[in-house]
A and B are shown apart, each in its own frame.
Chain A
Amino acid sequence: MSEADGLVRLRQPIGVTYNWSAGPNATSHLAGLMNGKFVGKRCPSCALVYFPPRNGVCPKCAKILAGDVEVGPKGTITTFCIVNVPFLGQKIKLPYVAAQILLDGADISMQHLIQECEAEDVRIGMRVEPVWKDKSEWGPSLENIQHFRPTGEPDRVMGTESGAS
């Protein structure tokens, strides 16, 4: 409290701590990441493979997901965005690429960074692989992966596979 200019100012920060539970489905996904594996879940009804397993249910069928499915580690870029705009708290050197990556065997894509190539060389269909951080830095998070980088394999033509991608 200060009264320097005749005004009474009161600073009262409010914080609340929660115990957030990931739920059984996301738990096997997060545990997989701690072991360097991409673990998704299959819908028992439509058989689509969800990576990440969202909220543990297939929103299309409204069914609880069942059965772990290991996917990746390689994947294909389904769409991307070149970030050129600086913003508060930015950690990566501009310009950089944020891409949606469809891991091999998964039916929904996930977002990650593309590095180790020029931004203008990134394209839809480009094959990529993960670059993991040092194991000592791993936790239950996709941040265990530093970024994805091109594999040099031939591009995959999108839309020719089954699935919801």
Chain B
Amino acid sequence: MALRDIAIVGTVQRPSEVNSTFTSVEILLPVIQQLLDKVGIERSDIGFWCHGSCDYMSGQPFSFVAAVDAIGAWPPIIESHVEADGALALYEAWVKIQTGEVDVALVFSNGKTTSGPIDQILSLQTDPYMVAPLKPGFDALAALQARACLDAGVMTERQMAEVASRSRRDANNNAIAFTKGNESVEELLAMPYTMNPLRAHDCATPVDGCNAVILAAGDIARRLAERPAWIRGIDHRIDTQRLGARSMIESSSAAIAAQKAGVGNDRIDVAEIHAPYTHQELLLRNAMGLGESTHINPSGGALVANPLMAAGLARFAEAAESIFAASADRVLAHCTSGPMLQQNLVCVMEGE
């Protein structure tokens, strides 16, 4: 079966904030309305709605059901939810359009990352028998990975600081970003460790945020956007949940996903990588085979604003916008999930 041509035709992201006093529904609704207005279509034109969020973040079972209020469910609509990043919801929407059942889908995601102790909440993702009772802490697991990488010589602390310095500078030009700065590599290296070998700037800033994108097929996409971001390859791979059975100094799931998505078939102009820690960006660049010619995270990446469950879809939005603006012709969007890069979704998009 020939695959349908499917593209992102519009995106909206809400600027990052912390300790938001709005409900998820109250922040999602204006973003979705803004996106519909921007693309110039009505709710009734959307064939499929797909949502990414996580009940653990809000601390409320079935909190995702409330989000249906934000999209207007009367007359009845076709919708779905993934208990995951919005990037996975985009994958589901892409599959839905591939089936031929619908031509246009709206994908949205939200995360109130600052309403709970996110480091503890995320460690509940680990194996509930052998690992979660130890309450390892998400930053601590990442620090173990960083230590293994440094000891194995696959990267240096200076390279990690370079990632942070570049990301914080790029964030100055991004209205969505939260953490901004102009520190040099030397200045960052002079900062104390927060969890050796990680320093504060090596870890992503948890923020509250939400975003939405519209996908459309074929000529509909050409009508809705001047320069749609065509999805040329998309793949999702998962490493074992057994932390001790994984190599900490490489990411085999990211490498396979990148290969299946066709990353290496041509040059990549811009890569938006979802790396919540500086060393993970370096690991992912290696795994996905990205070289010097690729502009990494011009948005500042998840390091400067990490609205969990929305940060991956944000990478798709940023990458697609660079196609819309014709500042890039071939881009990569990536989403990770789980401790130490357990899951990786890679997508290649092109302009026409």
Which residues of A are at the interface with B, using a C-beta cutoff of 8 A? 10, 12, 14, 16-26, 54-64
For the complex, give the distance between the alpha carbons of A57 and B69 in Å.
Answer: 7
Task: Chain A residues near B68: list those with CB within 8 A.
Answer: 59
Please pick, from B25, B26, B33, B117, the residue contacting A16 in the complex, using a CB distance under 8 A: B117
Closest partner residue, chain B, to A12 (CB atom): B133
For the complex, give the distance between the alpha carbons of A19 and B71 in Å.
Answer: 25
Q: Which of B286-323 contact A (CB under 8 A)?
A: none
Closest partner residue, chain A, to B69 (CB atom): A59
Q: Tell me whether A62 and B116 are in contact (CB under 8 A).
A: no
Task: Chain B residues near A61: list those with CB within 8 A.
Answer: 72
Q: Mark B37-69, 1 if CB is under 8 A from A, else 0.
A: 000000100000000000000111000001011
Q: Tell me whether B71 and A64 are in contact (CB under 8 A).
A: no
Please pick, from A12, A19, A20, A57, the residue contacting B29 in the complex, using a CB distance under 8 A: A57
Please pick, from A10, A20, A57, A59, the residue contacting B26 in the complex, using a CB distance under 8 A: A57
Q: Tell me whether B124 and A21 are in contact (CB under 8 A).
A: no
Closest partner residue, chain A, to B28 (CB atom): A57
Closest partner residue, chain A, to B19 (CB atom): A19
Q: Tell me whether A21 and B22 are in contact (CB under 8 A).
A: yes
Given contacts A14-B132, A59-B69, contact A21 B20 (CB under 8 A): yes
**CB-based A-B contact count at 8 angstroms:** 84
Q: Tell me whether A62 and B43 are in contact (CB under 8 A).
A: yes
Task: Chain B residues near A12: list those with CB within 8 A.
Answer: 133-135
B90 CB, min distance to chain A CBs, angstroms? 21
Q: Tell me whether A21 and B23 are in contact (CB under 8 A).
A: yes
Q: Tell me whether A57 and B22 are in contact (CB under 8 A).
A: no
Q: Tell me whether A62 and B29 are in contact (CB under 8 A).
A: yes
9 A-B pairs (CB sep. < 8 Å) = A10-B133, A12-B134, A14-B135, A16-B116, A18-B115, A20-B59, A54-B66, A54-B69, A56-B23
Q: Mark B130-165, 1 if CB is under 8 A from A, else 0.
A: 001111000000000000000000000000000000
Q: Which of B61-119 contact A (CB under 8 A)?
A: 66, 68-74, 115-117
For the complex, give the distance between the alpha carbons of A22 and B22 in Å.
Answer: 7
Task: Chain A residues near B20: list those with CB within 8 A.
Answer: 21
Task: Chain B residues near A55: list those with CB within 8 A.
Answer: 23-26, 66, 69-70
For the complex, give the distance between the alpha carbons of A19 and B43 in Å.
Answer: 33
Please pick, from B69, B115, B124, B133, the residue contacting A20 in the complex, using a CB distance under 8 A: B115
Please pick, from A10, A18, A22, A60, the residue contacting B116 in the complex, using a CB distance under 8 A: A18
Task: Chain B residues near A16: list those with CB within 8 A.
Answer: 59, 116-117, 120-121, 124
Q: Tell me whether B30 and A64 are in contact (CB under 8 A).
A: yes
Q: Tell me whether A60 and B133 are in contact (CB under 8 A).
A: no
Closest partner residue, chain B, to A56 (CB atom): B26
Given contacts A10-B133, A14-B132, A14-B135, contact A62 B23 (CB under 8 A): no
Task: Chain A residues near B70: list those with CB within 8 A.
Answer: 55, 57, 62
Q: Is B21 an interface residue (CB 8 A)?
A: yes
For the complex, give the distance between the alpha carbons of A64 and B31 in Å.
Answer: 12
Task: Chain A residues near B74: list those with CB within 8 A.
Answer: 59-60
Closest partner residue, chain B, to A55 (CB atom): B25
B158 CB, min distance to chain A CBs, angstroms? 36
For the complex, give the distance between the alpha carbons of A21 and B23 in Å.
Answer: 7
B125 CB, min distance to chain A CBs, angstroms? 12
10 A-B pairs closest in CB distance: A62-B72, A23-B23, A55-B25, A12-B133, A18-B59, A59-B69, A18-B116, A21-B21, A56-B26, A60-B74
